[in-house]
Amino acid sequence: MSKQVSSIRGMSDVLPEDTPLWQYIEGVLKTVVQSYGYHELRVPVVERTELFKRSIGEVTDIVEKEMYTFSDRNDESLTLRPEGTAGIVRAGIGNGLLYNQKQKLWLTGPMFRYEKPQKGRYRQFYQFDVEAFGYEGPDIDAELIMISARVWKLLGLDALELQLNSLGTPESRVTYRAELIEYFSAHKDELDDESQARLLRNPMRLLDSKHPKMQALIEAAPRITDHLDNESAEHFAGLQELLGGAGIKFKVNSRLVRGLDYYSRTVFEWVTDKLGAQGAVCSGGRYDGLVEHLGGKATPAIGWAVGLERLIELYRVTNGAGPVTAPDAYLVAVGDAAAAQALLFAEMLRNEVPGMIVEVNCGGGSYKAQFKRADKSGARVALILGEQEVESRQVGIKALRQDAEQFTVAWEKAAAAITSTE
């Protein structure tokens, strides 16, 4: 036997026993965003490296150390997308979707980051992204948050807390930035190495440091909310009022930041204490400067992204295993005549009741072996087709999940009988 090829660290397979829950959660997300009038956009998983450097920013964890970057055969530097927003903005500008237009978009798919794999942190992971372009007022900020709240509610998740902050405008951050640099410079010895390196280039990133020795320092740092310009303060108050009206609870966390110039005003994060260290499930914010920064016409924009692995894990710890997909019927066919008829008989059932799951026993086997497979498949009923049944155009029906006698019906009545058998 040849040596097996192993999978890549931090990149996992989602097995058939787990995909029903993935499909269910993806289905809820899609249905909800579409019920708000958002449209799907699909973009490639590979983009020019430059796109991410320019949009995410050079002084960030992602660009500094997490990107999967490689040269293609033509020596172009390409990168596997670490997040969705950059590609959406690139596609929006390139396809003329944003020019003097409003857009409500969503995207889902795999993202790639070279991180230290651990629970809730992988190298390939899935995000579901929602983004809105062309809207300035706080109503869209509220709508986006309401969308996420509706998803949590439908999934029965109540252990998520909404943390909210406003970053003001880039102009209003100039004095705040200077104050932060002054504050942290005065405590230079207490900074971790990374923070030392970032102090002058991107001081707001220091507020994001997870380093234990930095926490007290961060706690006492100047607060952005004390530096908001009037319009941003009004925008923030407007958002809070809309959320209050919608009955969505939140906590203002003035240390929740994004350190990049094109971020503005609203930032938020849904966090939980049920997932250990990786408690951020969904994060979002306004990036009014990004479209222009990437070469488009200045367009306000806001979005959020939820990490599906974390969302699914939260679903599991809250609600248990989740849905399973089992056939409605498993068709046992014994003997040549029955085997020859089985595929066609199953087609007839699917024609009659679209969506009915009928698994045909392929590959033969004894009656006993086939029945075992029927049980293992999780099917609600077993259908039994033998020589005699084929001749009389009938089928045996045996409920597998309750104690009930086997009975026989004519082929035309089989679909109805399957549907009404528990």
Residues that bind ligand ATP (CB under 6 A): 83, 113, 115, 120-122, 125, 127, 278, 280-283, 305, 307, 309-310
Pick the closest to residue 105 from 129, 70, 124 (CA basis). 129
Q: Toward ligand ATP, which CB reaches closer, 108 or 394?
A: 108
**Residue 27: other Cβ atoms inside 10 A:** 11
Judge whether 315 and 157 are in contact, CB under 8 Å.
yes
Q: Toward ligand ATP, which CB reaches closer, 129 or 288?
A: 129
Residue 110 CB, shortest distance to ligand ATP, in Å, is 10
Q: Toward ligand ATP, which CB reaches closer, 301 or 360?
A: 301
Residue 117 CB, shortest distance to ligand ATP, in Å, is 8
- Buried b / exposed e over 231-263, threshold 16 CB at 10 Å, is ebbebbeebbebbeeeebebeebbebbbbbbbb
Residue 387 CB, shortest distance to ligand ATP, in Å, is 55
Q: Toward ligand ATP, which CB reaches closer, 42 or 119?
A: 119
Burial (0-12, 13-18, 19+ Cβ within 10 Å), 210: exposed
Judge whether 147 and 130 are in contact, CB under 8 Å.
yes
Q: Toward ligand ATP, which CB reaches closer, 47 or 309?
A: 309
| Calpha distance 265→261 (Å, rounded) | 11
Judge whether 82 and 57 are in contact, CB under 8 Å.
no
Report CA torsion sign: 265, 219, 56, 118.
negative
Residue 156 CB, shortest distance to ligand ATP, in Å, is 18
Residue whose Cβ sits closest to ligand ATP: 307
Residue 71 CB, shortest distance to ligand ATP, in Å, is 24
| Calpha distance 265→331 (Å, rounded) | 59
Distances (CA, A) of 180 to 143, 217, 420: 32, 11, 68
Residue 75 CB, shortest distance to ligand ATP, in Å, is 29
Q: Toward ligand ATP, which CB reaches closer, 41 or 63?
A: 63
Q: Toward ligand ATP, which CB reaches closer, 124 or 299?
A: 124
| Calpha distance 69→79 (Å, rounded) | 4
| Calpha distance 97→287 (Å, rounded) | 17
Q: Toward ligand ATP, which CB reaches closer, 258 or 380?
A: 258
| Calpha distance 77→51 (Å, rounded) | 11
Residue 293 CB, shortest distance to ligand ATP, in Å, is 18
**Strand extents, DSSP E, 200-354:** 251-252, 266-271, 280-286, 301-307, 329-333
Residue 171 CB, shortest distance to ligand ATP, in Å, is 25
